[in-house]
Amino acid sequence: MQKIVIDTNVIVSALIQRGYPFLIVDAIFDNINIQVCISEELFQEYYDVLNRKKFAKFPDFLMRAQTLLADIELRAVKFTPTAEVMIIKDDDDNMLLELAEVSDAAYLITGNSNDFTITAYKNTKIVSPKEFWEIYTLS
């Protein structure tokens, strides 16, 4: 089973547009060979960000966000990071690396190439949604 961590920006993009983030989110919950890894902190960030008023301008955003959050809560496996990481300047991004480490995730999927200038952290490859989609469709 392949474990993945999904950055919040990928979740937001999946709800706004029909690009690689949408394809990934749509496909991973139908694939029993992929396990989405979350922590309490990451799930709270998903919830807080997806409920921001600025996203209400997108048709059905809130309804689709609530459905996706319910899917994540039901199907994702929750981990509790035990080690603090201080590699990236944004603490929220370090939270993702901590989760990737404790869950032994194969991939961390992010659209944030500004802060994630590294391509791997320990056993986890850090990839864009497009890169993950290409890997996913080849397997």
Assess contact for 125 and 107: CB atoms under 8 A: yes
User: Is residue 139's pLDDT more than 80?
Assistant: no
pLDDT of residue 90: 84
For residues 87-109, average pLDDT: 95
Q: Is the dihedral of CA 16, 51, 98, 40 positive or negative?
A: negative
Query: Given 2.30.180.10, 3.40.50.1010, 3.60.120.10, 3.40.640.10, which CATH number is that of 2-138?
Result: 3.40.50.1010
Residue 132 has a pLDDT of: 94
Confidence (pLDDT) at 38: 98
pTM, 2 dp: 0.94
pLDDT at 15: 93
CA-based end-to-end distance of the chain: 12
- pLDDT, tens only, 49-71: 999 999 999 989 999 999 999 99
Q: Quick check: 96 and 121 in contact, CB under 8 A?
A: no
**pLDDT tens per residue across span 5-44:** 999 999 999 999 888 888 888 887 777 789 999 999 999 9
- Rounded alpha-carbon distances, angstroms, from residue 87 to 2, 6, 66, 79, 110: 24, 18, 32, 20, 16
